[in-house]
Amino acid sequence: MNDIDTKIKERELTLYFGPQHIGMVGNFGITLTVKGDTIQEAVATPGFLHRGFEKMLENVRYLQGFPFVCRINVMDPDPNEQVYAMAIEELAGLEVPPRAHYLRTMALEMSRLTSHLAWLWAYGNELGFDTIGHWSMVQRDYFIDLFDMIAGGRVYHMYIWPGGVRRDMPEGFEAKMRQTLDGLEGSLRDYDSTFFNNRVFRKRASGIGVLTQEDALRFGVTGSCLRATGIKRDVRIEEPYAAYADLDFEVPTMTDGDAYARAIVIRKEIEQSISIIRQVLDKLPTGPAWNRVPNPFKWKIPPGETYVRMESARGELGAYAVSDGSEKIHRIAYRVPSYPHGILALETLLRGMNIADVGHMLLSLNIAAPEIDR
């Protein structure tokens, strides 16, 4: 090795891996200090999507908050509506009819599916394997059509509402839903043979970005990243909301905690979501799909505070809401799942890693930048 080579290998460089980088998904940034190809230090720099939703929610009436909350997570919007609605219901003492609980469960699982399928596209794309992405995005689009049918919106639905849901199921929806679920279930075999069981992917993901159980607990990581380390924890089981108490489903776990384990957990969750939606359709009770809410312009909610939580596609999503008795919320704070694993866990995992794995790690951890910024 000559002198110049040695100098290049020992020189420390600061690289900015930001939203303009082709390997970056979404608006997020990481400042990397590298020596050769190896990362010495990584500092996450979020904030590109800071829209101040929590502040804006303090300035509008309760129902006017819905167009904001669904935008907290672009890929997985419905859980944010669900926690907001749950918080309002608990503060105001509003009842939700059983049919609405089932319809909410369906919307939440559809949202989880669209999020996981979009993740599969992005992950495949990131690893230079576009085929799987073309397939999964087609399936995702069918679910988006269903959202369009039931809520009137493709990306943001504002479907879940205090006291129930905004609309009941339209005619022909159930048949179309069953057909779409069958279609997705059929394609899972193709996803397995081309991607999840692909030798190239296995080699690329096994043993990379190992998050140990201790680290996951230390950083407060939840969701699929935690379940991939072998801890079976899911808010749907721990504190059932919507209709989850009546439904039968499994919580998939893996033990390795590496990128491959995380991918397999998400793959198995797709299967569970399909099963949950089928059960919802089978057991759907009759009756009203919503209870009337008071006049939104005069609706004052008694003083109080509450914390509600649920399991979104990425982990524990919660909202701490405080009412001071006026027609506007005094404070609402969102507990978002991407926060712990998007900052501290990511920075820890990237240390000592190759530059080529940065994008891989962002997707493997399933980080949603809009969630962190809010």
Partner 1 sequence: MREETIKQDIEKRYDGSCVSVQRRQRIIVSVPKDSVFSLVAYMKEEGFGHLSFITCVDWIKEGEFELVYHLASYQDGIHAMVKTRIDRADPTYLSLVPLFENAQTYEREIHEMFGVRFVGNGRLIPFLLTNWQEMPPMKKDFDTEAYAERMFEHE
**Residues contacting partner 1: total by CB under 8 A:** 33
Q: What pairing do the DSSP bridges indicate for beta strands 29-35 and 164-165?
A: unpaired
Distance separating alpha carbons of residues 286 and 274, to the nearest angstrom: 22
Does position 218 interact with partner 1 (CB under 8 A)? The reply is yes
Which residue among 9, 11, 47, 351 contacts partner 1 (CB under 8 A)? 47
Nearer Cβ to partner 1 (121/339): 339
Could you tell me the CA-to-CA distances from 48 to 66, 67, 94, 252 in Å, in that order? 22, 20, 36, 33
Least distance (Å) between residue 173 CB and partner 1? 34
Does position 46 interact with partner 1 (CB under 8 A)? The reply is yes
| Residues in CB range of 172: below 8 A, 6 or more apart | none
Nearer Cβ to partner 1 (157/309): 309
Least distance (Å) between residue 112 CB and partner 1? 21
Least distance (Å) between residue 307 CB and partner 1? 6
Could you tell me the CA-to-CA distances from 304 to 56, 92, 93, 96, 293 in Å, in that order? 20, 9, 11, 20, 19
Q: What is the dihedral of CA 220, 213, 124, 316, to 10 degrees?
A: -30
Nearer Cβ to partner 1 (59/131): 59
Residue with tokens 């193709």: 190
Does position 219 interact with partner 1 (CB under 8 A)? The reply is yes
Least distance (Å) between residue 59 CB and partner 1? 7
Q: Burial, 286: exposed, middle or buried (Cβ in 10 Å; 0-12, 13-18, 19+)?
A: exposed
Binding letters toward partner 1, positions 304-333, x by CB under 8 A: -xxx-x------x-x-x-x-------xx-x
Which residue among 12, 145, 148, 239 contacts partner 1 (CB under 8 A)? 239
- 59-78 positions binding partner 1, by CB under 8 A: 59
Nearer Cβ to partner 1 (167/328): 328
Least distance (Å) between residue 222 CB and partner 1? 8
Least distance (Å) between residue 326 CB and partner 1? 12
Look at residues 192, 191, 256 and name the one whose alpha carbon lies nearest to residue 225: 256
| Residues in CB range of 145: below 8 A, 6 or more apart | 154
Q: What is the CA radius of gyration of the chain?
A: 21
Does position 53 interact with partner 1 (CB under 8 A)? The reply is no
Please count the residues of the chain: 374
Distance separating alpha carbons of residues 312 and 334, to the nearest angstrom: 13
SS3 329: strand
Interface region with partner 1, contact rule CB under 8 A, candidates 49-57, 103-111, 173-181, 264-272: 49-57
Interface region with partner 1, contact rule CB under 8 A, candidates 103-111, 174-182, 188-196, 230-238: 230-238
Binding site for partner 1 (CB under 8 A): 46-47, 50, 52, 54-56, 59, 217-220, 231, 233, 238-239, 305-307, 309, 316, 318, 320, 322, 330-331, 333, 335, 339-340, 343-344, 373
